[in-house]
Amino acid sequence: MGEGTSSPILGILLACVAASIFLAALGIWLKRSGRLTSRGAALAWAIFTILPLFGAGFAMMTRHSVEIATGETRSGVNEPPPTR
């Protein structure tokens, strides 16, 4: 990866993706065991399953907006300037 690539938001993103995968697996198990029988319940569970992904996107966009507002990230610049 290189220098300057540490991102604490990545942990939040991975946790949200893991939560979404866990909820999807739980939904499959509930469907197979006969506990998630109605279409409405299945739709609600599907929406509930993808909510952590929207949370991850919100967290990433919020972090990015704060970095732009404070001047930590500049538009069009991908890497920090080299330090000597």
Question: How many other CB atoms are there within 10 angstroms of residue 44's CB atom?
Answer: 12
* pLDDT under 50: residue ranges of the chain: 1-2
Per-residue pLDDT at 83: 73
pLDDT at 24: 97
| 4 part of a folded domain | no
pLDDT of residue 3: 56
Count how many domains the chain has: 1
Confirm whether 3 is domain-assigned.
Answer: no
Give the domain extent around 25: 10-70
The dihedral region occupied by 58, where left means phi > 0, alpha psi between -120 and 50, and beta the remainder, is alpha
Could you tell me if residue 2 is inside a domain? Answer: no
Tell me the C-alpha to C-alpha distance, in Å, between residue 22 and each of 10, 16, 47: 18, 10, 14
Residue 55 resides in a domain: yes
Residue 72 is classified by DSSP as S
Establish if 65 belongs to a structural domain. Answer: yes
Q: How far is CA 2 from CA 19, 20, 67, 78, 81, in A?
A: 28, 29, 20, 13, 14
Residue 81 lies in a domain: no
